[in-house]
């Protein structure tokens, strides 16, 4: 979300917008900036999907099963050797 541009590590909203138009690598960099900036990287490293989903998606994460979906996606990626 655009209002998180500072948390994502951008110097300005305009820099964030330009990056989002640039390419997928810029989107990934912004997501990683958000993960680091909000302090949820340790939860991701622990594979604590509930803590990560709560930090990333907010308190409604459980109602949408985001933690369960993340766990399934991770298991599938790991199974495929990604």
Same domain, 29 and 49: no
Containing structural domain, residue 31? 1-38
Please name which of 23, 69, 34, 33 lies closest in space to residue 50, comparing C-alpha atoms: 69
Q: How many domains would you assign to the chain?
A: 2
pLDDT in single tens digits along all 82 residues of the chain: 789 999 999 999 999 999 999 999 999 999 999 999 999 999 999 999 999 999 999 999 999 999 999 999 999 999 999 9
Residues 70 and 33 in one domain: no
């Amino acid at each position: 979300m655009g209002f998180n541009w500072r948390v994502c590590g951008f110097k300005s909203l305009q820099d964030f917008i330009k990056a989002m138009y640039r390419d997928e690598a810029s989107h990934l960099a912004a997501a990683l900036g958000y993960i680091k900036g909000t302090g949820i990287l340790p939860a991701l490293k622990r594979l604590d999907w509930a803590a990560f989903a709560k930090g990333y998606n907010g308190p409604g994460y459980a109602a949408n099963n985001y933690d369960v979906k993340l766990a399934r996606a991770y298991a599938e990626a790991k199974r495929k050797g990604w």
